[in-house]
Chain A
Amino acid sequence: MGSKEFAVKDPALARAEQVAREDLVMFVNACFSCTGQREFYNDARGQSVAIDFLHEYILGNYRRLYARTLAAGINHFNQAQILLNLLATGKQTPPEDRREEGALIASALRALPPQRAFRVLELLRERRINNRRARAIAREYLEGRPDLSFDAVKYRAKLRATVAHGHMKLPGELNPFLFHGWRKRVYTTPLLEKFRQAHYDQGALFELPFTIAEGLAMKHGIPRGVFLERIEPRLTMAERLRLQGAAAREDGAIAIDLGRAPLTKLALYVLSLKPETRRERRAELHAALEQSAARTLRRAPVPLGRVAAVLDNSYSASGSTEKRRRPLGVALAAHYLLSASAREYRAFWTNPLEDPLLLEARGQTDLATPLLDALDWRPDQVVVVSDGYDNDPPNAVAEVTRVFRTRLDPSRRTSIVHANPVFASELYAPRGIGALVPTVGVRDAEDLPTVLGFARFAEGAAPLSELEDYLAARVRRLLERGQRGQEPVESQMTAGEPLPAEEEA
């Protein structure tokens, strides 16, 4: 592992650097995939214990890098954890880092989907974090919101918790609204007034955001079918996708442009359909997935040459009750993303299938055979998407990669990267497929470009300084983006009225 640069240094120092790099890679990797939820092989308890430990360990030992991980493209769950942990321990920030850390917290919080950001603010109260910086961050976040009265309706409990916790005075009628709600006589702000009226009048509730209107519709006894039909213009993209099944059950339809849905979410939606439905709507679904993949690539292009994907569709890809079919969904999304970005592309599934759209999680995991087929095709790049468990025969894939690297391709003409959507809590990392292949965690297939960029650190070849530079560069980009405009992320997601959307459930 020691590179030339280390050789001239003090060996103890070199060792310390190596440990730091490995710790950090492990942490970032965990933050890509782990959400503290149940996985196929691990329960939720084990997952949350493992990820909490990693957070505390990295926070205690490498505070600056811990904060900078916020910019590494990690998932929302871990961003929220980092924000809370940083805010809780502000005293330990060295004076020279204070500025950067504060700016990072503020822009990361702003970039989070609103329901997650408000949850962070609510957790500040639950965890009794109430220092001057935390209050300032909360105040600044609320000031940056484009429409606070909308937030007051949609995230009322969370916003009230934040306001009460920070003793804030919000402009206009917001404070009375938050603390008295509909019992106050009348509001002049239209949305707040609609919210009040909706408690008495059925007609008013169709102008409220869906999640709020849903509860009030139940109170007024509006039939589900009628409700879905009339609330339709108010739905966000994510809600539209989520309610497709519900609308079909009520013999209604909710208009959706599937091609505009986020790729992995769309893949998960496709996999939730029955095989016969998928067969009937094959052309439409296929086009939507291609369109969505193209949209993802437009935002973050990754030009690739001859690419082979080894994709796991064994039974364990069915995920868990909390992450239903997620590994399979990531594999399907990766299939479309890679086929859109590569010059030449071929997919190799563990249990071969004719049409990727009719995918299901079934059978044993034989990763070695598709990997051998992929290597036979002589690609420039092999991307393996798998949970890292292979059992037919066990450990065969690790042996194949080892022998291939040491005997058949020592000059690394073909590069192999393993993207793993599953965090193995007993290892504190995603499970790998051999020591000579870098394994990176991934939550959404959209993260693949980021994750492929990170892979060289997971391989262990790059020194710590390079990893630090990489993170610093990403931090600069995040902060610049934060300063340029405070345009909310959600506006691009809506189909009808510009209402904020839930990005990640």
Chain B
Amino acid sequence: MTREKTRRLLPTGLRLAPSQVWGNIRLVPVLRDEVRGDLRFARRTYDDALAVVSLKGGLMEPGLKYVSYVPHGLVMSWDNKQAEVVAGTRLQKPDGKVLKAGPFTVRVMHRMARREDKNRLRLLPLHLAMEGFLAMHFGGPEVAWTEYSQEALSHGLDPRSEWSVPGWASAAFDEALRVFEIHEQQVGVLIFKADMLLSACIVSHPEDYRALHRALLEDFYGELLLQYGFLANAADLWLSIDDQRVASMADLRDAVGRMRRDWADFQGFMAGGLFGAEVTTSTVYEAGPFHLERFVTSLVPSEENHIGEVIVRADGTLEYLKTYRLSAAQTRRAYLLKQLAGAGWNLERAAAGLKTTREDLVVRLHNAGFGYLLKESVLREALRHA
């Protein structure tokens, strides 16, 4: 991992249009007025039951692997000449290696982001961010404190897994995408479920977005997509015009313009957990002027937390963004790991930092699914006291 830094995510160069609601899904179009066309994305589909991505070492050699169902990847091309040519062509070139496993196939791939040509990069959207999230403090305790199990000391958190939900698991989401009316300058969308920000997907060029719109169904989302499934419809937010202030057609036109601006402001506020939030980023790839970074928000359990990938141009324009909202449990796990790592994996110190007792911390670790890190005896004792 490269060095980390913090930055604020700002929707520079973008504009929000009024939302379109279907059931409890609210989709907010993200528009871009100035399209430069030197960064394009195309989708490459994989038809395999499973994908194994080797993160370190060669393709078929032993080493750290990321295993997931990966329905598609994104091929990113930059630089004026190249980008123009690539846009619209099919980029179905061999990618990694396909192995047969009974009736299924498994694809073995190199790296999360892999350069394929001078100005072309293949990346696995969201998996990139998820891998970064899974790899946080993956090494486990650096000091051999006696409470940790032998397993934790020698292998760290390996193997670590998280659950997510594919877009097509929600029929409402499918229908919402079908009836959504794409704007001409639209480059992205903010997805709200029961008026909670679930994901943001922004690319650089409107044509690319149009091509990727239905593929949003194949991406994965936080558990929130299924939670609140029975909650009533997202409220119809209706702004009205103050008729006392309208005396002419020009006034009426102004009032509609004001209505549109109010919508944008309000939705910007609704997405406040992401836009304007302080995030910790680390650079994954430097592609000419474009730096692909992955990020995590504060991980404070009381706030909404997102992980994702972002590309920001040198002048601050947001060119690419894809985010995943962590569920409460996922946040809790990451938060505990972060606290432990911050305290040098010392349970007492970490407990003090959390303003709790050592036993309580052990129980919390156990409840969060990290029981395997601790010695059996430590765990049993703590559970008895709790």
Interface flags, B251-264, vs A, CB<8A=1, else 0: 01101100110010
Q: Is B101 located at the chain interface by the 8 A CB criterion?
A: no
Q: Specify which chain B residues have a CB less than 8 angstroms from the CB of A365 in the assembled complex.
A: 181
Q: Specify which chain A residues have a CB less than 8 angstroms from the CB of B241 in the assembled complex.
A: 399-400, 402-403
Q: Is B85 located at the chain interface by the 8 A CB criterion?
A: no
> When the two chains form their complex, are residues B181 and A393 in contact, meaning their CB atoms are under 8 A apart?
no
Contact partner of B259 (CB less than 8 A), chosen from A362, A375, A376, A399, is: A399
Q: Specify which chain A residues have a CB less than 8 angstroms from the CB of B260 in the assembled complex.
A: 392-393, 396
Q: Specify which chain A residues have a CB less than 8 angstroms from the CB of B248 in the assembled complex.
A: 408
Q: Specify which chain A residues have a CB less than 8 angstroms from the CB of B238 in the assembled complex.
A: 394-395
Given contacts A407-B243, A408-B249, contact A396 B256 (CB under 8 A): yes
Q: How many residues of A contact B (CB 8 A)?
A: 29
Main secondary structure of the interface of A (DSSP, over half): helix
Q: How far apart are the CA atoms of A314 and B238 in the complex, in Å?
A: 21
Q: Is B64 located at the chain interface by the 8 A CB criterion?
A: no
Chain A positions 390-423 with a Cβ under 8 Å from a chain B Cβ = 391-396, 399-400, 402-404, 406-408
Of all chain B residues, which has the CB nearest A376? B249
Q: Specify which chain B residues have a CB less than 8 angstroms from the CB of A369 in the assembled complex.
A: 256
Q: Specify which chain A residues have a CB less than 8 angstroms from the CB of B20 in the assembled complex.
A: 364, 391, 394
> When the two chains form their complex, are residues A364 and B183 in contact, meaning their CB atoms are under 8 A apart?
yes
> When the two chains form their complex, are residues B256 and A372 in contact, meaning their CB atoms are under 8 A apart?
yes
Q: How far apart are the CA atoms of A393 and B252 in the complex, in Å?
A: 14
Shortest C-beta distance, B371 to chain A (Å), equals 48
Q: How far apart are the CA atoms of A192 and B29 in the complex, in Å?
A: 63
Q: How far apart are the CA atoms of A393 and B263 in the complex, in Å?
A: 8
Q: Is B17 located at the chain interface by the 8 A CB criterion?
A: yes
Of all chain A residues, which has the CB nearest B18? A393
Q: Specify which chain B residues have a CB less than 8 angstroms from the CB of A78 in the assembled complex.
A: none
> When the two chains form their complex, are residues A363 and B256 in contact, meaning their CB atoms are under 8 A apart?
no
Shortest C-beta distance, A352 to chain B (Å), equals 11
Given contacts A391-B181, A408-B246, contact A403 B255 (CB under 8 A): yes
Shortest C-beta distance, A241 to chain B (Å), equals 30
Q: Is B240 located at the chain interface by the 8 A CB criterion?
A: yes
Main secondary structure of the interface of B (DSSP, over half): loop
Of all chain B residues, which has the CB nearest A365? B181
Q: How far apart are the CA atoms of A363 and B180 in the complex, in Å?
A: 9
Q: How far apart are the CA atoms of A408 and B250 in the complex, in Å?
A: 11
> When the two chains form their complex, are residues B256 and A407 in contact, meaning their CB atoms are under 8 A apart?
no
Q: How far apart are the CA atoms of A247 and B248 in the complex, in Å?
A: 56
> When the two chains form their complex, are residues B183 and A407 in contact, meaning their CB atoms are under 8 A apart?
no
> When the two chains form their complex, are residues B17 and A399 in contact, meaning their CB atoms are under 8 A apart?
no
Chain B positions 190-215 with a Cβ under 8 Å from a chain A Cβ = none
> When the two chains form their complex, are residues A403 and B246 in contact, meaning their CB atoms are under 8 A apart?
yes
Shortest C-beta distance, A320 to chain B (Å), equals 10
Q: Is B314 located at the chain interface by the 8 A CB criterion?
A: no
Q: How far apart are the CA atoms of A315 and B236 in the complex, in Å?
A: 21
Q: Is A263 located at the chain interface by the 8 A CB criterion?
A: no
> When the two chains form their complex, are residues B17 and A372 in contact, meaning their CB atoms are under 8 A apart?
no
Q: Specify which chain A residues have a CB less than 8 angstroms from the CB of B19 in the assembled complex.
A: 391, 394
Q: Is B143 located at the chain interface by the 8 A CB criterion?
A: no
Shortest C-beta distance, A414 to chain B (Å), equals 11
Q: Is B179 located at the chain interface by the 8 A CB criterion?
A: yes
> When the two chains form their complex, are residues A316 and B179 in contact, meaning their CB atoms are under 8 A apart?
yes
Interface flags, A358-386, vs B, CB<8A=1, else 0: 00001111001100100110000000000
Q: How far apart are the CA atoms of A315 and B17 in the complex, in Å?
A: 16
Q: Is A57 located at the chain interface by the 8 A CB criterion?
A: no
Given contacts A393-B260, A395-B239, contact A407 B249 (CB under 8 A): no
Contact partner of A364 (CB less than 8 A), chosen from B17, B236, B256, is: B17
Contact partner of A41 (CB less than 8 A), chosen from B179, B236, B237, B246, is: B179
Of all chain A residues, which has the CB nearest B185? A363
Shortest C-beta distance, B206 to chain A (Å), equals 11
Contact partner of B18 (CB less than 8 A), chosen from A314, A316, A375, A394, is: A394
Shortest C-beta distance, B266 to chain A (Å), equals 10
Q: Is A40 located at the chain interface by the 8 A CB criterion?
A: yes
Of all chain A residues, which has the CB nearest B240? A399
Shortest C-beta distance, A363 to chain B (Å), equals 6
Shortest C-beta distance, B176 to chain A (Å), equals 11
9 contacts between A and B (CB under 8 A): A363-B183, A364-B181, A364-B183, A372-B253, A394-B19, A399-B240, A399-B241, A403-B241, A404-B252
Starting from the known contacts A402-B241, A403-B252, 14 additional A-B residue pairs (CB-CB under 8 Å) come to: A41-B179, A362-B184, A365-B181, A369-B256, A392-B17, A392-B18, A392-B260, A393-B239, A394-B237, A396-B260, A399-B256, A403-B241, A403-B246, A408-B252
- Counting from the closest, the 8 A-B pairs by CB-CB distance are A393-B18, A315-B181, A364-B181, A399-B241, A395-B238, A403-B243, A391-B20, A393-B263
Which residues from chain A sit less than 8 Å from chain B, CB to CB?
A: 40-41, 314-316, 351, 362-365, 368-369, 372, 375-376, 391-396, 399-400, 402-404, 406-408
Which residues from chain B sit less than 8 Å from chain A, CB to CB?
A: 17-21, 29, 179, 181-184, 236-241, 243, 246-249, 252-253, 255-256, 259-260, 263
